[in-house]
Structures are given as C-alpha cells and as structure tokens.
C-alpha cells in the first residue's frame, strides 16, 4: 500500500538485502484486493515465504524474524 509505513520500510529492507519480492497493491489492483479478501487477511504488509514444501506467513514487518528465514536461506545456497 502506498501510504503504509511498515510496507515502505519492508520494501526498503528487502531491496537493501537484494531479496526478490512480489508487491501486490490492494488499493489499485482489484485482483490483489480480492485475493487479500479471499484469504481473510486484514493487515498489511502480509508476507508469504515459500520454503520448499512449507509456506511461512508474517503480518506486519517483523524484520528480525524475516532475517532468520530469508538471510539464512540465501547464505546456505
């Protein structure tokens, strides 16, 4: 979302760490908005990380938790 401070900070952190991500704007993109509603999501940012057979879901921008998953994955490759 364009005026979401947590979203902005998360995007900056992901970009700084060179982590590829897909952004979905639930204000401008009706398909993304429907997906958000269908998943009964209520807060932004909502982050899904696919890790092999497991999907991790995070609400907000918990950078410390994301570092554990994303940075450990990239360093083990």
The helix (H) or strand (E) run that includes residue 75 is helix 72-75
List, in order of start, the domains of the chain with CATH numbers.
Answer: 5-72 (3.40.30.10)
Note the pLDDT of residue 16.
Answer: 95
Note the pLDDT of residue 69.
Answer: 85
Tens digit of each residue's pLDDT (9 = 90 or more) over 5-57 = 999 999 999 999 999 999 999 999 999 999 999 999 999 999 999 888 889 89
The residue whose two tokens read 């990239």 is 74
pLDDT over 70 (residue 75): no
CA within 13 Å, CB half, 24: 14
CB 35 within 8 A of CB 24: yes
pLDDT over 80 (residue 73): no
């Amino acid at each position: 979302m364009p005026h979401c401070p947590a979203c902005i900070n998360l995007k900056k952190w992901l970009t700084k760490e060179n982590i590829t991500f897909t952004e979905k704007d639930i204000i401008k993109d009706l398909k993304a908005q429907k997906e958000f509603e269908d998943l009964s999501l209520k807060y932004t940012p909502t982050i899904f990380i696919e890790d092999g057979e497991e999907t991790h879901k995070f609400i907000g921008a918990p950078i410390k938790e994301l570092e554990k998953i994303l940075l450990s994955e990239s360093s083990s490759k």
